[in-house]
Amino acid sequence: MSQYRTFTAADAVEYARQFGGVANPHTLVDSQEVGDGNLNLVFKIFDTAGVSRVIVKQALPYVRCVGESWPLTLDRARLEAEVLIEHGKFCPQHTVNILHYDPDLAVMVMEDLSDHAIWRSELVNGVEYPQAAGQLGEYLAQTLFHTSDFFQHPYQKKADVIRFTNPELCDITEELFFNEPYEIHERNAYPRALEPLAESLRDDEALRLAVGGLKHRFYCHAEALLHGDVHSGSIFVAEGCLKVIDAEFGFYGPMGFDIGSALGNLLISYCAAPGLLAPREAAAARENRLNDVREVWLSFSESFLALAAEKSRDRALAVPGYSREFLRKVWSDTIGYCGTELIRRTVGMSQVADIKNIKDEAMRVECVRQAIILGRSLILLADHVADPEALIARIRQNS
């Protein structure tokens, strides 16, 4: 029989005392539920001095932001903990540390990152972290290379594809990224003024074909163990530090999905900046986001190529030149998935603070319009953008 019960604040404290790895567990005395994501309960656990010491996160048997009408597997807690543990083996400096997890209770205990801030909130407020993009590229290179066929033994890789099969969470992504924004759907949430633009997405055959291809590759290209939801709200930053959290959408999929999701959120920030910041700050923030896009890809690709040269275990994949050729396909996928992230965050249900915080309605509509048009053009041009400089030129052209 399942031991699952939804934690109260007191349960979370008790659990943290047992499994939080704190030297004097009795000093943990209080907790606060701070979850503001779409799915889970998140408790900060405080000591007698009021300092937050560890985090207890528990999956609910449904989608939190919708309610019990949308049931969702509790196995996502196991998947999240195991993805983060796996990624932490290869990139501990940029992966949140999981101290303990229990698949029956769908709960995990993890390091407290209260001295960090969520990157999305900082971007909304115009706060810059110049090293973050390079660090994110490094996280992507380490996690994607080491979980791929370049590095994993073929038996281990195949076993891990099974261990990380994540049908229910993938189904959410498959619907939200690749179906709903291109249909009339009750979950879509774009401004009414953009109905003609939304309709043009539904009617664009070339776009629908390209999105079909991206969805197909999402289904069947088991290239590496993805995080599955690398957006700026899943990333904590501090001066010189970056830590990725929230990997419940993890599964074996195409590398370009993780990289494209990350770039898509940087470009949402780019599109939203004029609605959030004063003109001079917005212009600077936009330049910074373009630099971030370049830096994420350069840092990822340089590290990936170096890892492939040094550590590829598969003899055929280790042939000189193969990894570079492979990255050309990853780059095209990256641009395509980046485009789908821009569109699903603006047309579809998963709206983000970058857009929601724009107070002026006309400005908000213009920022959303720009994000949708940019998303469409990236999906359509994904195979024809040579490198980050060409991508940046495209983005400027779109602005």
Q: Would you list which residues are annotated within the binding site for ATP?
A: 40, 57, 111-113, 246-248
**Which residue, among 388, 130, 20, 80, has the nearest Cα to 244 in the 3D structure?**
80
237 binds ligand SR1 (CB under 6 A): no
172 binds ligand SR1 (CB under 6 A): yes
Residue 138's binding partner among Mg ion, ligand SR1, none (Cβ under 5 to 8 angstroms by kind) is: none
> Distance (Å, rounded) from C-alpha 114 to C-alpha 30?
15
Residue nearest ligand SR1 by beta-carbon distance:
38
Q: Which amino acid is at 17?
A: R
**Which residue, among 67, 11, 9, 6, has the nearest Cα to 38 in the 3D structure?**
67
Residue from the set 122, 180, 246, 333 that interacts with Mg ion by CB under 5 A: 246
Q: Which residue has the tokens 């040269």?
A: 309
> Distance (Å, rounded) from C-alpha 16 to C-alpha 43?
10
Annotated binding site: 40, 57, 111-113, 229, 246-248, 344
With CB under 6 A as the contact rule, which of the stretches 42-50, 138-146, 168-176, 327-335 interacts with ligand SR1?
168-176
Structure tokens at 275: 């609605």
Structure tokens at 262: 């990350």
What's the Cα-to-Cα distance from 292 to each of 58, 132, 267, 271, 295, rounded to whole Å? 33, 8, 9, 14, 5
Residue 176's binding partner among ligand SR1, Mg ion, none (Cβ under 5 to 8 angstroms by kind) is: ligand SR1
Residue from the set 12, 13, 91, 176 that interacts with ligand SR1 by CB under 6 A: 176
The residues with which 47 forms a beta bridge, in sequence order, are 28
Query: Given the complex with ligand SR1, which of 38 and 97 has the nearer CB atom?
Result: 38
> Distance (Å, rounded) from C-alpha 261 to C-alpha 334?
8
The site for ligand SR1, by CB under 6 A, has a size of 8
Say if CB 277 and CB 285 are below 8 A apart.
Answer: yes
Q: Residue 237: in which H helix or E strand, if any?
A: strand 235-238
**Least distance CB 247 / Mg ion (angstroms):** 8
392 binds ligand SR1 (CB under 6 A): no
With CB under 6 A as the contact rule, which of the stretches 77-85, 119-127, 170-178, 280-288 interacts with ligand SR1?
170-178
**Least distance CB 5 / ligand SR1 (angstroms):** 23
63 binds ligand SR1 (CB under 6 A): yes
> Distance (Å, rounded) from C-alpha 167 to C-alpha 169?
6
Query: Given the complex with ligand SR1, which of 60 and 382 has the nearer CB atom?
Result: 60
Residue 350's binding partner among ligand SR1, Mg ion, none (Cβ under 5 to 8 angstroms by kind) is: ligand SR1
**Least distance CB 38 / ligand SR1 (angstroms):** 4
Query: Given the complex with Mg ion, which of 35 and 37 has the nearer CB atom?
Result: 37
What lies within 8 Å, CB to CB, of 115 at 6+ separation is 238
350 binds ligand SR1 (CB under 6 A): yes
**Which residue, among 136, 129, 83, 132, has the nearest Cα to 110 in the 3D structure?**
83
Structure tokens at 113: 């990152």
With CB under 6 A as the contact rule, which of the stretches 47-55, 108-116, 154-162, 169-177 interacts with ligand SR1?
169-177
Beta strands 107-111 and 224-226, pairing class: unpaired
Residue from the set 112, 138, 229, 292 that interacts with ligand SR1 by CB under 6 A: 229
Direct distance between the N- and C-terminal alpha carbons of the chain, in angstroms, rounded to an integer: 57
- Per-residue contact string for residues 16-55; x = within reach of ligand SR1 by CB under 6 A: ---------------------xx-----------------
C-alpha triplet 353, 355, 359: angle, nearest 5°: 100
Q: Where on the chain is the footprint of Mg ion (CB under 5 A)? A: 37, 246
Q: Where on the chain is the footprint of ligand SR1 (CB under 6 A)? A: 37-38, 63, 172-173, 176, 229, 350
